[in-house]
Amino acid sequence: MKEPGLRPTGVTMAALRDAPPNAVYIAPGPGAVDYTFRLACYLGRLDIKIISPDGIERLQGERRPIVIDHAVALTPRQMATVLEMRRTS
């Protein structure tokens, strides 16, 4: 059943569906977090932590898989944090 307001097809849906267990999913921005969370719930992926790029710095030291939405634009500092997390996970 399709939830009102969701388009359960497309790149974001596939990325959420295919994300590793307990992944951090980086949504395009604060305004997209709620929409992305609803998509994850629609898919039954309550294990995924969804954040905006502004939350990346707070994840330093965590060892979780990271999935970046196709529409995200990261700053050089955010990208460095993501690369460090990927290197150590």
Confidence of residue 6 (pLDDT cuts 50, 70, 90): low
Query: Quick check: helix, strand or coil at residue 78?
Result: helix
Show the domains of the chain with their CATH numbers.
Answer: 11-88 (3.40.50.300)
pTM of the shown model = 0.85
Give per-residue pLDDT as tens, 40-60. 999 999 999 999 999 998 888
Which are the contacts of 11, defined by CB distance < 8 A and separation ≥ 6? 70
